[in-house]
Amino acid sequence: MSLTTVAGDLIFLLLLFSSGAVGIGFSLEDEKAQIDRFQQYLRIQTAHPNPDYAGAVSFLSSQARSIGLKILTLEFTPGKPLLLLSWAGTDPSLPSILLNSHLDSVPADSSHWIHPPFSAYRDSDGRIFARGAQDDKSIAIQYLEALRNLKGRGFSPLRSIHVSLVPDEEIGGADGNEKFVASQEFRMLNVGFVLDEGQASPTDEFRVFYADRLPWSLIVNAVGAPGHGSKMYDGSAAENLMECVEAIVRFRDSQFDLVKAGIRAGSEVISVNPVYLKAGTPTPTGFVMNVQPSEAEAGFDVRLPPTESIDVLRKRINEEWAPISRNMTYQLTQKGPSRDVTGRPLVTPTNASNPWWSVFKQAISASGGKLGKPEILSSTTDARFMRQMGIPTLGFSPMANTPVLLHDHNEFLKDTVFLNGIKVYENLISALSSFHSDVGV
Ligand SMILES: *[C@@H]1O[C@H](CO)[C@@H](O)[C@H](O)[C@H]1NC(C)=O
Ligand SMILES: *[C@@H]1O[C@H](CO)[C@@H](O)[C@H](O)[C@H]1NC(C)=O
Ligand SMILES: [Zn+2]
Protein backbone atom coordinates (compact mmCIF):
# COMPACT_ATOMS: atom_id res chain seq x y z
CA MET A 1 0.00 0.00 0.00
CA SER A 2 1.48 3.34 -0.99
CA LEU A 3 1.42 6.45 1.13
CA THR A 4 -1.15 8.06 -1.13
CA THR A 5 -3.59 5.19 -0.68
CA VAL A 6 -3.09 5.35 3.10
CA ALA A 7 -3.95 9.03 2.97
CA GLY A 8 -6.87 8.24 0.70
CA ASP A 9 -8.17 5.67 3.14
CA LEU A 10 -7.90 8.09 6.03
CA ILE A 11 -9.91 10.69 4.16
CA PHE A 12 -12.35 7.96 3.26
CA LEU A 13 -12.78 6.96 6.91
CA LEU A 14 -13.23 10.55 7.98
CA LEU A 15 -15.91 10.95 5.35
CA LEU A 16 -17.69 7.87 6.51
CA PHE A 17 -17.67 9.11 10.09
CA SER A 18 -19.04 12.47 9.04
CA SER A 19 -21.73 10.89 6.86
CA GLY A 20 -22.53 8.45 9.67
CA ALA A 21 -23.07 11.46 11.90
CA VAL A 22 -25.88 12.78 9.68
CA GLY A 23 -27.80 9.62 10.42
CA ILE A 24 -27.83 7.63 7.21
CA GLY A 25 -27.86 4.54 9.32
CA PHE A 26 -25.60 2.07 7.54
CA SER A 27 -22.53 0.57 9.18
CA LEU A 28 -19.21 1.81 7.87
CA GLU A 29 -18.49 -1.49 6.14
CA ASP A 30 -21.92 -1.44 4.50
CA GLU A 31 -21.39 2.09 3.25
CA LYS A 32 -17.99 1.25 1.87
CA ALA A 33 -19.32 -1.85 0.11
CA GLN A 34 -22.30 0.03 -1.37
CA ILE A 35 -20.13 2.83 -2.72
CA ASP A 36 -17.66 0.27 -3.98
CA ARG A 37 -20.32 -1.55 -5.99
CA PHE A 38 -21.55 1.77 -7.40
CA GLN A 39 -17.99 2.60 -8.50
CA GLN A 40 -17.55 -0.85 -10.06
CA TYR A 41 -20.68 -0.37 -12.15
CA LEU A 42 -19.63 3.16 -13.13
CA ARG A 43 -16.30 1.84 -14.40
CA ILE A 44 -17.99 -0.32 -17.05
CA GLN A 45 -17.77 1.52 -20.40
CA THR A 46 -21.44 1.90 -21.23
CA ALA A 47 -21.17 4.96 -23.48
CA HIS A 48 -22.42 5.00 -27.04
CA PRO A 49 -21.55 4.24 -29.77
CA ASN A 50 -20.24 0.93 -28.31
CA PRO A 51 -21.76 0.38 -24.88
CA ASP A 52 -20.38 -2.71 -23.12
CA TYR A 53 -23.79 -4.29 -22.55
CA ALA A 54 -22.29 -7.72 -21.89
CA GLY A 55 -20.04 -6.31 -19.16
CA ALA A 56 -22.89 -4.39 -17.53
CA VAL A 57 -25.27 -7.37 -17.64
CA SER A 58 -22.62 -9.69 -16.24
CA PHE A 59 -21.85 -7.33 -13.34
CA LEU A 60 -25.51 -6.68 -12.50
CA SER A 61 -26.36 -10.39 -12.77
CA SER A 62 -23.65 -11.23 -10.25
CA GLN A 63 -25.11 -8.61 -7.92
CA ALA A 64 -28.61 -10.00 -8.38
CA ARG A 65 -27.32 -13.51 -7.67
CA SER A 66 -25.72 -12.38 -4.42
CA ILE A 67 -29.03 -10.75 -3.39
CA GLY A 68 -31.09 -13.80 -4.35
CA LEU A 69 -33.19 -12.31 -7.15
CA LYS A 70 -34.51 -14.29 -10.09
CA ILE A 71 -32.50 -13.44 -13.22
CA LEU A 72 -33.71 -13.42 -16.81
CA THR A 73 -31.79 -12.05 -19.78
CA LEU A 74 -33.92 -11.09 -22.78
CA GLU A 75 -32.54 -10.15 -26.17
CA PHE A 76 -35.07 -8.53 -28.48
CA THR A 77 -32.26 -7.33 -30.74
CA PRO A 78 -29.01 -9.31 -31.05
CA GLY A 79 -26.22 -7.76 -28.99
CA LYS A 80 -28.66 -5.63 -27.00
CA PRO A 81 -29.52 -7.61 -23.86
CA LEU A 82 -32.14 -6.56 -21.34
CA LEU A 83 -31.78 -7.83 -17.80
CA LEU A 84 -34.94 -8.58 -15.84
CA LEU A 85 -34.61 -9.25 -12.11
CA SER A 86 -37.52 -10.41 -9.98
CA TRP A 87 -38.54 -10.96 -6.39
CA ALA A 88 -41.85 -12.80 -6.20
CA GLY A 89 -44.52 -11.36 -3.93
CA THR A 90 -46.64 -13.41 -1.54
CA ASP A 91 -49.67 -12.58 -3.72
CA PRO A 92 -48.40 -12.79 -7.29
CA SER A 93 -51.94 -12.24 -8.60
CA LEU A 94 -51.69 -8.55 -7.67
CA PRO A 95 -50.23 -6.11 -10.23
CA SER A 96 -46.47 -5.85 -9.72
CA ILE A 97 -43.99 -3.01 -9.18
CA LEU A 98 -41.36 -2.34 -11.86
CA LEU A 99 -38.17 -0.35 -11.28
CA ASN A 100 -36.55 0.67 -14.56
CA SER A 101 -33.07 1.93 -15.40
CA HIS A 102 -31.15 2.06 -18.68
CA LEU A 103 -27.78 0.38 -19.13
CA ASP A 104 -26.36 2.81 -21.68
CA SER A 105 -24.83 6.28 -21.33
CA VAL A 106 -24.13 9.18 -23.64
CA PRO A 107 -20.50 9.63 -24.76
CA ALA A 108 -18.06 11.67 -22.66
CA ASP A 109 -15.20 13.75 -24.05
CA SER A 110 -12.50 13.06 -21.45
CA SER A 111 -10.51 16.18 -22.43
CA HIS A 112 -13.20 18.25 -20.67
CA TRP A 113 -13.26 16.18 -17.48
CA ILE A 114 -11.20 16.85 -14.35
CA HIS A 115 -11.21 13.07 -13.67
CA PRO A 116 -11.52 10.42 -16.39
CA PRO A 117 -15.23 9.77 -17.11
CA PHE A 118 -15.01 6.04 -16.41
CA SER A 119 -12.71 6.26 -13.38
CA ALA A 120 -15.49 6.76 -10.81
CA TYR A 121 -12.92 8.82 -8.91
CA ARG A 122 -14.10 9.92 -5.47
CA ASP A 123 -12.67 13.25 -4.37
CA SER A 124 -12.19 14.55 -0.82
CA ASP A 125 -15.71 16.04 -0.86
CA GLY A 126 -17.17 12.62 -1.59
CA ARG A 127 -18.06 13.50 -5.17
CA ILE A 128 -17.93 10.44 -7.40
CA PHE A 129 -17.13 11.47 -10.97
CA ALA A 130 -18.35 9.34 -13.84
CA ARG A 131 -20.46 9.38 -16.97
CA GLY A 132 -23.70 7.84 -15.75
CA ALA A 133 -23.22 8.86 -12.09
CA GLN A 134 -26.55 10.73 -12.36
CA ASP A 135 -27.96 9.38 -15.63
CA ASP A 136 -28.76 6.79 -14.54
CA LYS A 137 -26.41 4.13 -13.20
CA SER A 138 -27.00 5.48 -9.69
CA ILE A 139 -30.60 4.31 -9.55
CA ALA A 140 -29.75 0.82 -10.84
CA ILE A 141 -27.37 0.26 -7.92
CA GLN A 142 -29.69 2.01 -5.46
CA TYR A 143 -32.57 -0.29 -6.47
CA LEU A 144 -30.34 -3.34 -5.96
CA GLU A 145 -28.86 -2.16 -2.66
CA ALA A 146 -32.34 -1.33 -1.34
CA LEU A 147 -33.51 -4.84 -2.30
CA ARG A 148 -30.41 -6.35 -0.69
CA ASN A 149 -31.13 -4.50 2.57
CA LEU A 150 -34.83 -5.39 2.51
CA LYS A 151 -33.97 -9.08 1.98
CA GLY A 152 -31.40 -8.86 4.76
CA ARG A 153 -34.06 -7.54 7.13
CA GLY A 154 -36.40 -10.40 6.31
CA PHE A 155 -38.89 -8.21 4.44
CA SER A 156 -41.46 -10.08 2.40
CA PRO A 157 -43.25 -8.21 -0.42
CA LEU A 158 -46.96 -8.68 -1.03
CA ARG A 159 -46.64 -7.69 -4.70
CA SER A 160 -43.88 -8.96 -6.95
CA ILE A 161 -41.01 -6.55 -7.53
CA HIS A 162 -39.18 -6.43 -10.87
CA VAL A 163 -36.11 -4.48 -11.96
CA SER A 164 -35.58 -3.93 -15.71
CA LEU A 165 -32.15 -2.86 -16.95
CA VAL A 166 -32.66 -1.89 -20.55
CA PRO A 167 -30.39 -1.03 -23.50
CA ASP A 168 -30.51 1.94 -25.89
CA GLU A 169 -32.51 4.53 -23.93
CA GLU A 170 -30.06 7.24 -24.95
CA ILE A 171 -30.62 6.51 -28.64
CA GLY A 172 -34.41 6.39 -28.54
CA GLY A 173 -35.20 3.00 -27.01
CA ALA A 174 -36.55 1.43 -30.22
CA ASP A 175 -34.46 -1.74 -29.65
CA GLY A 176 -34.79 -1.50 -25.88
CA ASN A 177 -37.80 -0.54 -23.83
CA GLU A 178 -40.10 -0.07 -26.80
CA LYS A 179 -39.70 -3.76 -27.74
CA PHE A 180 -39.81 -4.82 -24.08
CA VAL A 181 -43.22 -3.25 -23.32
CA ALA A 182 -44.62 -4.84 -26.50
CA SER A 183 -43.42 -8.33 -25.50
CA GLN A 184 -45.21 -11.32 -24.05
CA GLU A 185 -42.62 -11.32 -21.24
CA PHE A 186 -43.70 -7.81 -20.24
CA ARG A 187 -47.40 -8.71 -20.34
CA MET A 188 -46.70 -11.65 -18.02
CA LEU A 189 -45.28 -9.27 -15.40
CA ASN A 190 -48.72 -7.64 -14.98
CA VAL A 191 -47.07 -4.34 -14.03
CA GLY A 192 -49.24 -1.98 -11.98
CA PHE A 193 -46.80 0.84 -11.30
CA VAL A 194 -43.38 1.90 -12.59
CA LEU A 195 -40.55 4.01 -11.22
CA ASP A 196 -38.11 5.25 -13.88
CA GLU A 197 -35.32 7.82 -13.94
CA GLY A 198 -35.81 11.46 -12.95
CA GLN A 199 -33.31 14.30 -12.59
CA ALA A 200 -31.11 15.88 -9.96
CA SER A 201 -32.43 18.77 -7.90
CA PRO A 202 -30.25 21.73 -6.88
CA THR A 203 -32.56 22.38 -3.89
CA ASP A 204 -33.39 20.13 -0.95
CA GLU A 205 -36.63 18.98 -2.65
CA PHE A 206 -36.65 15.84 -4.77
CA ARG A 207 -38.08 16.24 -8.27
CA VAL A 208 -40.75 13.95 -9.68
CA PHE A 209 -41.92 13.77 -13.30
CA TYR A 210 -45.41 12.65 -14.36
CA ALA A 211 -45.20 13.18 -18.14
CA ASP A 212 -42.73 13.76 -20.94
CA ARG A 213 -43.20 16.46 -23.56
CA LEU A 214 -44.19 14.96 -26.89
CA PRO A 215 -41.60 15.35 -29.66
CA TRP A 216 -42.74 16.45 -33.15
CA SER A 217 -40.87 17.46 -36.30
CA LEU A 218 -42.06 20.32 -38.47
CA ILE A 219 -40.70 20.76 -42.01
CA VAL A 220 -41.86 23.82 -43.95
CA ASN A 221 -41.40 24.04 -47.73
CA ALA A 222 -41.78 27.36 -49.51
CA VAL A 223 -41.90 27.96 -53.26
CA GLY A 224 -41.94 31.21 -55.24
CA ALA A 225 -40.95 32.82 -58.48
CA PRO A 226 -37.20 32.70 -59.10
CA GLY A 227 -35.48 35.92 -60.17
CA HIS A 228 -32.29 37.86 -60.56
CA GLY A 229 -30.50 38.56 -57.30
CA SER A 230 -30.73 42.28 -57.92
CA LYS A 231 -34.51 42.40 -58.36
CA MET A 232 -36.95 43.42 -55.61
CA TYR A 233 -40.24 41.53 -55.90
CA ASP A 234 -42.84 39.87 -53.73
CA GLY A 235 -43.37 36.14 -53.45
CA SER A 236 -39.89 34.63 -53.74
CA ALA A 237 -39.43 31.31 -52.00
CA ALA A 238 -36.88 32.71 -49.56
CA GLU A 239 -39.09 35.69 -48.73
CA ASN A 240 -42.02 33.35 -48.05
CA LEU A 241 -39.91 31.17 -45.83
CA MET A 242 -38.68 34.25 -43.94
CA GLU A 243 -42.33 35.05 -43.25
CA CYS A 244 -42.68 31.62 -41.66
CA VAL A 245 -39.48 31.96 -39.63
CA GLU A 246 -40.55 35.39 -38.33
CA ALA A 247 -43.98 34.10 -37.29
CA ILE A 248 -42.38 31.17 -35.48
CA VAL A 249 -39.84 33.43 -33.76
CA ARG A 250 -42.71 35.60 -32.44
CA PHE A 251 -44.49 32.53 -31.08
CA ARG A 252 -41.27 31.14 -29.63
CA ASP A 253 -40.63 34.44 -27.83
CA SER A 254 -44.15 34.46 -26.37
CA GLN A 255 -43.57 30.98 -24.92
CA PHE A 256 -40.04 31.71 -23.75
CA ASP A 257 -41.22 34.94 -22.06
CA LEU A 258 -43.59 32.86 -19.90
CA VAL A 259 -40.59 30.79 -18.82
CA LYS A 260 -38.34 33.80 -18.21
CA ALA A 261 -41.05 35.51 -16.16
CA GLY A 262 -41.36 32.38 -14.02
CA ILE A 263 -45.02 31.89 -15.00
CA ARG A 264 -44.41 28.48 -16.58
CA ALA A 265 -41.66 25.89 -16.32
CA GLY A 266 -39.59 25.30 -19.44
CA SER A 267 -41.30 21.94 -19.85
CA GLU A 268 -44.82 23.43 -19.63
CA VAL A 269 -44.62 25.50 -22.82
CA ILE A 270 -44.46 24.55 -26.49
CA SER A 271 -40.91 24.86 -27.75
CA VAL A 272 -40.23 25.39 -31.47
CA ASN A 273 -36.54 25.53 -32.29
CA PRO A 274 -35.06 25.82 -35.81
CA VAL A 275 -32.74 22.89 -36.58
CA TYR A 276 -31.97 23.42 -40.27
CA LEU A 277 -32.39 25.82 -43.19
CA LYS A 278 -32.05 24.65 -46.76
CA ALA A 279 -32.14 26.92 -49.82
CA GLY A 280 -29.97 28.30 -52.60
CA THR A 281 -28.55 27.11 -55.90
CA PRO A 282 -25.35 25.20 -55.17
CA THR A 283 -22.08 25.54 -57.14
CA PRO A 284 -19.03 23.28 -56.63
CA THR A 285 -17.60 25.81 -54.15
CA GLY A 286 -20.68 27.36 -52.56
CA PHE A 287 -23.84 29.01 -53.86
CA VAL A 288 -24.87 31.07 -56.86
CA MET A 289 -25.02 34.58 -55.43
CA ASN A 290 -27.16 36.40 -58.00
CA VAL A 291 -30.18 34.07 -58.26
CA GLN A 292 -33.14 34.11 -55.88
CA PRO A 293 -34.08 30.41 -55.57
CA SER A 294 -37.52 28.96 -56.30
CA GLU A 295 -37.56 26.63 -53.27
CA ALA A 296 -36.61 26.97 -49.64
CA GLU A 297 -37.06 24.70 -46.65
CA ALA A 298 -36.70 24.86 -42.86
CA GLY A 299 -36.88 22.21 -40.16
CA PHE A 300 -38.02 22.70 -36.55
CA ASP A 301 -37.93 20.56 -33.42
CA VAL A 302 -41.32 20.98 -31.75
CA ARG A 303 -42.05 19.79 -28.19
CA LEU A 304 -45.58 19.79 -26.88
CA PRO A 305 -46.66 19.30 -23.26
CA PRO A 306 -49.21 16.44 -23.30
CA THR A 307 -51.76 18.88 -21.92
CA GLU A 308 -51.66 21.00 -25.12
CA SER A 309 -53.82 20.26 -28.15
CA ILE A 310 -52.08 19.38 -31.39
CA ASP A 311 -55.16 20.57 -33.34
CA VAL A 312 -54.72 24.09 -32.00
CA LEU A 313 -51.09 23.99 -33.10
CA ARG A 314 -52.02 22.67 -36.54
CA LYS A 315 -54.49 25.55 -36.97
CA ARG A 316 -51.76 28.01 -36.03
CA ILE A 317 -49.39 26.49 -38.59
CA ASN A 318 -52.06 26.61 -41.31
CA GLU A 319 -53.03 30.21 -40.60
CA GLU A 320 -49.87 31.89 -39.37
CA TRP A 321 -46.69 29.88 -39.84
CA ALA A 322 -47.06 28.22 -43.22
CA PRO A 323 -50.18 29.59 -44.97
CA ILE A 324 -50.87 28.12 -48.38
CA SER A 325 -51.62 31.69 -49.53
CA ARG A 326 -47.90 32.35 -49.10
CA ASN A 327 -46.94 29.30 -51.18
CA MET A 328 -46.02 27.19 -48.19
CA THR A 329 -46.71 23.56 -47.37
CA TYR A 330 -45.60 21.60 -44.34
CA GLN A 331 -45.22 18.20 -42.79
CA LEU A 332 -45.82 17.80 -39.09
CA THR A 333 -44.63 14.39 -37.94
CA GLN A 334 -45.06 12.92 -34.55
CA LYS A 335 -42.30 10.81 -33.08
CA GLY A 336 -44.60 8.52 -31.07
CA PRO A 337 -48.25 8.50 -30.00
CA SER A 338 -49.83 11.18 -27.81
CA ARG A 339 -52.42 8.87 -26.22
CA ASP A 340 -52.10 5.59 -24.37
CA VAL A 341 -53.65 2.28 -25.46
CA THR A 342 -56.90 3.24 -23.71
CA GLY A 343 -57.04 6.65 -25.42
CA ARG A 344 -56.01 8.76 -22.43
CA PRO A 345 -53.27 11.44 -22.57
CA LEU A 346 -49.77 10.22 -21.67
CA VAL A 347 -49.91 11.64 -18.18
CA THR A 348 -49.62 9.87 -14.84
CA PRO A 349 -52.10 11.62 -12.53
CA THR A 350 -50.58 13.12 -9.39
CA ASN A 351 -53.81 13.51 -7.49
CA ALA A 352 -56.36 11.41 -5.61
CA SER A 353 -57.40 9.62 -8.81
CA ASN A 354 -54.10 7.70 -8.72
CA PRO A 355 -53.76 5.65 -5.50
CA TRP A 356 -50.08 4.91 -6.27
CA TRP A 357 -49.38 8.62 -6.02
CA SER A 358 -50.34 8.84 -2.36
CA VAL A 359 -48.33 5.71 -1.52
CA PHE A 360 -45.34 7.25 -3.30
CA LYS A 361 -45.74 10.61 -1.58
CA GLN A 362 -46.14 9.12 1.87
CA ALA A 363 -43.08 6.91 1.43
CA ILE A 364 -40.97 9.94 0.49
CA SER A 365 -42.09 11.78 3.64
CA ALA A 366 -41.46 8.68 5.74
CA SER A 367 -37.88 8.63 4.51
CA GLY A 368 -37.46 12.25 5.62
CA GLY A 369 -37.46 13.62 2.06
CA LYS A 370 -39.26 16.62 0.60
CA LEU A 371 -40.95 16.52 -2.78
CA GLY A 372 -41.19 19.45 -5.22
CA LYS A 373 -44.24 20.20 -7.37
CA PRO A 374 -44.66 17.37 -9.91
CA GLU A 375 -43.16 18.31 -13.26
CA ILE A 376 -43.34 17.51 -16.95
CA LEU A 377 -39.96 16.46 -18.35
CA SER A 378 -38.65 18.68 -21.17
CA SER A 379 -37.18 15.78 -23.10
CA THR A 380 -38.25 12.15 -23.36
CA THR A 381 -37.28 9.00 -21.48
CA ASP A 382 -38.25 5.33 -21.59
CA ALA A 383 -41.11 6.20 -19.21
CA ARG A 384 -43.20 7.15 -22.23
CA PHE A 385 -43.35 3.51 -23.39
CA MET A 386 -44.81 2.39 -20.07
CA ARG A 387 -47.28 5.30 -20.05
CA GLN A 388 -48.30 4.30 -23.58
CA MET A 389 -49.33 0.93 -22.12
CA GLY A 390 -51.57 2.82 -19.68
CA ILE A 391 -49.33 2.03 -16.70
CA PRO A 392 -48.83 4.82 -14.14
CA THR A 393 -45.13 5.76 -14.26
CA LEU A 394 -43.19 8.34 -12.28
CA GLY A 395 -39.72 9.64 -13.16
CA PHE A 396 -37.73 9.90 -9.96
CA SER A 397 -34.05 9.88 -9.01
CA PRO A 398 -33.37 10.71 -5.34
CA MET A 399 -30.68 13.37 -5.90
CA ALA A 400 -31.41 16.47 -3.79
CA ASN A 401 -28.87 19.30 -3.33
CA THR A 402 -27.14 18.16 -6.51
CA PRO A 403 -26.39 20.19 -9.66
CA VAL A 404 -28.10 18.88 -12.80
CA LEU A 405 -25.22 17.33 -14.77
CA LEU A 406 -26.80 14.70 -16.98
CA HIS A 407 -25.06 14.59 -20.38
CA ASP A 408 -22.67 17.31 -19.10
CA HIS A 409 -18.92 17.31 -18.47
CA ASN A 410 -17.81 16.25 -14.97
CA GLU A 411 -21.05 14.48 -14.11
CA PHE A 412 -20.87 13.44 -10.46
CA LEU A 413 -22.93 12.27 -7.53
CA LYS A 414 -21.96 12.75 -3.91
CA ASP A 415 -21.48 9.59 -1.83
CA THR A 416 -23.85 10.80 0.90
CA VAL A 417 -26.56 11.57 -1.66
CA PHE A 418 -26.08 8.13 -3.20
CA LEU A 419 -26.32 6.40 0.20
CA ASN A 420 -29.38 8.40 1.25
CA GLY A 421 -31.05 7.36 -2.03
CA ILE A 422 -30.76 3.71 -1.02
CA LYS A 423 -32.74 4.48 2.15
CA VAL A 424 -35.34 6.37 0.09
CA TYR A 425 -35.80 3.35 -2.18
CA GLU A 426 -36.05 1.00 0.80
CA ASN A 427 -39.02 3.07 1.98
CA LEU A 428 -40.51 3.35 -1.50
CA ILE A 429 -40.13 -0.29 -2.44
CA SER A 430 -41.47 -1.60 0.86
CA ALA A 431 -44.47 0.77 0.74
CA LEU A 432 -45.31 0.18 -2.93
CA SER A 433 -44.91 -3.59 -2.79
CA SER A 434 -47.02 -3.80 0.40
CA PHE A 435 -49.79 -1.61 -0.99
CA HIS A 436 -53.13 -3.37 -0.76
CA SER A 437 -55.90 -1.53 -2.51
CA ASP A 438 -59.62 -2.17 -2.87
CA VAL A 439 -59.79 -0.31 -6.18
CA GLY A 440 -58.29 -3.00 -8.37
CA VAL A 441 -54.82 -1.62 -9.03
C1 LIG B 1 -46.29 31.41 -55.56
O2 LIG B 1 -45.38 30.78 -56.44
C3 LIG B 1 -45.58 31.11 -57.81
C4 LIG B 1 -44.58 30.32 -58.65
O5 LIG B 1 -44.04 29.22 -57.99
C6 LIG B 1 -45.39 32.59 -58.02
O7 LIG B 1 -45.64 32.90 -59.34
C8 LIG B 1 -46.30 33.38 -57.13
O9 LIG B 1 -46.03 34.72 -57.19
C10 LIG B 1 -46.12 32.93 -55.67
N11 LIG B 1 -47.09 33.60 -54.84
C12 LIG B 1 -46.80 33.98 -53.60
C13 LIG B 1 -47.91 34.67 -52.83
O14 LIG B 1 -45.75 33.77 -53.07
C1 LIG C 1 -56.42 14.15 -11.65
O2 LIG C 1 -55.48 14.46 -12.67
C3 LIG C 1 -55.90 14.04 -13.95
C4 LIG C 1 -54.74 14.22 -14.92
O5 LIG C 1 -53.97 15.33 -14.66
C6 LIG C 1 -57.13 14.82 -14.33
O7 LIG C 1 -57.56 14.47 -15.64
C8 LIG C 1 -58.23 14.51 -13.32
O9 LIG C 1 -59.37 15.29 -13.60
C10 LIG C 1 -57.77 14.76 -11.89
N11 LIG C 1 -58.74 14.19 -10.99
C12 LIG C 1 -59.05 14.69 -9.80
C13 LIG C 1 -59.96 13.87 -8.97
O14 LIG C 1 -58.60 15.75 -9.41
ZN1 LIG D 1 -31.17 8.65 -18.54
Q: What is the pTM of this model?
A: 0.85
Alpha-helical segments (H) within 303-401: 310-316, 355-366, 383-388
* DSSP per position, 235-259: --HHHHHHHHHHHHHHHHHHHHHHH
Residue 418 lies in a domain: yes
Tens of pLDDT, residues 316-359: 999 999 999 999 999 999 888 889 999 999 999 999 999 999 99
Find out whether 135 is annotated in a ligand binding site.
yes
Burial class (CB in 10 A: 0-12, 13-18, 19+), 327: buried
Residue 340 lies in a domain: no
Whether residues 220 and 204 fall in one domain: no
**By the 8 A CB rule, do 57 and 111 touch?**
no
- The answer on pLDDT for 195 being more than 90 is yes
CATH of the domain at 47: 3.40.630.10
Tens of pLDDT, residues 236-256: 999 999 999 999 999 999 999
Whether residues 330 and 407 fall in one domain: no
- The confidence score (pLDDT) of residue 379 equals 86
- Ligand 2 contacts CB of residue 349 (under 6 A): yes
Whether residues 79 and 200 fall in one domain: yes
Q: Give the integer Cα–Cα distance in Å for 407 and 409.
A: 7
310 Cα: distance to centroid of ligand 2 (angstroms): 20
Domain that holds residue 372: 3-212+345-434
Task: Determine which residue's CA is closest to atom 13 belonging to ligand 1.
Answer: 326
Whether residues 142 and 7 fall in one domain: yes
- Ligand 1 contacts CB of residue 223 (under 6 A): yes
Whether residues 264 and 329 fall in one domain: yes
Residue 187 lies in a domain: yes
Task: Determine which residue's CA is closest to atom 12 belonging to ligand 1.
Answer: 235
**By the 8 A CB rule, do 376 and 212 touch?**
yes
Whether residues 51 and 165 fall in one domain: yes
Whether residues 108 and 142 fall in one domain: yes
Q: 5: part of which helix (H) or strand (E)?
A: helix 3-21
Q: Give the integer Cα–Cα distance in Å for 355 and 139.
A: 24
- The answer on pLDDT for 2 being more than 90 is no
306 Cα: distance to centroid of ligand 2 (angstroms): 14
Whether residues 182 and 113 fall in one domain: yes
- How many domains in the chain? 2
- Ligand 2 contacts CB of residue 325 (under 6 A): no
- The answer on pLDDT for 5 being more than 60 is no
Whether residues 201 and 261 fall in one domain: no
- The confidence score (pLDDT) of residue 389 equals 97
CATH of the domain at 242: 3.30.70.360
- The answer on pLDDT for 4 being more than 80 is no
